[in-house]
């Protein structure tokens, strides 16, 4: 009979194998894969320094790799937070391995690792503009938004980020989280950021929705000014709503954050 933690791991595809990483050669490969994921160029900041990965692994923190056909396909690293949760600082999947369940396998492994150590949850941050990450974190996994963090890391120039404000959403994923329900973005949700990136006043509505751009990473290259406008729109719309007592209730396939105030659902 499988333990509860082992049962969590069985939701990942069978061909993905996840294990903790140890030793300089493995950690060098992990750091290299993350540089590939972030498409870093000479002079860019690395997503995480090799010496930090070595220190995390040596001190018993979380550093793990996901393998497909014995090839490293994904990496995640984190540490124990003050609230006795595992804080996942970084996670990345090789471009050629996307869509094969590697990201889900890493997250399930993190949750199992946390549960085996008596931790109640896993937390991490993500860019609220990246639609696929929002859908994965909130709709697929069922993580809960805890806070909007303006310019959390300061300017970042690392291949994926554009050097502008690094706003992030902080999410918490309870070890015993139930499967999420897929939400609907239909009325009566009032729009606070529309599909053009325009910000509107909530006007006291109990239910809100906030759009995201279909491909913010492509937009940063093709139209940097539009990407900056989207950053400001979510800062004012989504961040403003969370700061005024709303909470995120879900994220839809079509790219909308859904929010409620008080007991509204």
Q: Are residues 221 and 167 in the same domain?
A: no
Angstrom distance (rounded) from CA 88 to CA 80: 9
pLDDT the model gives residue 66: 97
- Number of structural domains (the chain) is 2
Q: Are residues 83 and 140 in the same domain?
A: yes
pLDDT the model gives residue 36: 93
Angstrom distance (rounded) from CA 208 to CA 196: 16
pLDDT the model gives residue 7: 33
Q: Are residues 29 and 79 in the same domain?
A: yes
Q: Does residue 210 contact residue 259 with C-beta atoms inside 8 Å?
A: yes
Q: Which domain holds residue 132?
A: 4-174
Query: Which residues contact residue 37 at a Cβ distance below 8 angstroms, ignoring those fewer than 6 apart?
Result: 47, 92, 93, 94, 95
pLDDT block averages, 10 residues each, the chain of length 265: 33 79 96 92 86 96 96 97 95 92 96 96 97 95 96 74 83 88 73 95 92 94 94 97 95 96 65
Query: Which residues contact residue 26 at a Cβ distance below 8 angstroms, ignoring those fewer than 6 apart?
Result: 65
Phi-psi region of 245 (alpha: psi -120 to 50; beta: other; left: phi over 0): left
DSSP H or E segment with residue 72 = strand 71-80
Closest by Cα among 264, 231, 235, 233 to 248: 264
């Amino acid at each position: 009979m499988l333990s509860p933690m082992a049962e969590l791991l069985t939701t990942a595809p069978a061909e993905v194998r996840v294990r903790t990483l140890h030793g300089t050669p493995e950690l060098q490969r992990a750091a290299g894969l993350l540089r590939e994921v972030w498409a870093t160029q000479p002079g860019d900041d690395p997503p995480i320094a090799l010496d930090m990965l070595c220190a995390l692994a040596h001190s018993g923190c979380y550093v793990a790799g996901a393998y497909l056909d014995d090839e490293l396909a994904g990496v995640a690293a984190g540490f124990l937070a003050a609230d006795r949760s595992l804080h996942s600082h970084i996670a990345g999947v090789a471009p050629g391995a996307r869509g094969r369940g590697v990201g889900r396998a890493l997250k399930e492994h993190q949750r199992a690792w946390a549960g085996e150590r008596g931790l109640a949850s896993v937390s991490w941050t993500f860019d609220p503009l990246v639609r696929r990450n929002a859908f994965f974190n909130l709709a697929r996994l069922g993580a809960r938004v805890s806070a909007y963090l303006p310019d959390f890391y300061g300017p970042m120039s690392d291949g994926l980020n554009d050097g502008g404000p690094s706003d992030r959403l902080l999410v918490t994923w309870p070890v015993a989280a139930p499967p999420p329900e897929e939400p609907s973005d239909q009325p009566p949700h009032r729009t606070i950021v529309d599909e053009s990136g325009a910000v509107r006043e909530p006007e006291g509505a109990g239910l809100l929705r906030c759009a995201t751009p279909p491909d913010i990473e492509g937009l940063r290259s093709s139209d940097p000014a539009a990407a900056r406008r989207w950053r400001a729109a979510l800062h004012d719309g989504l961040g403003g709503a969370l700061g005024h007592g709303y909470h995120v209730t879900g994220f839809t396939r079509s790219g909308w954050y859904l929010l409620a105030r008080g007991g509204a659902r």
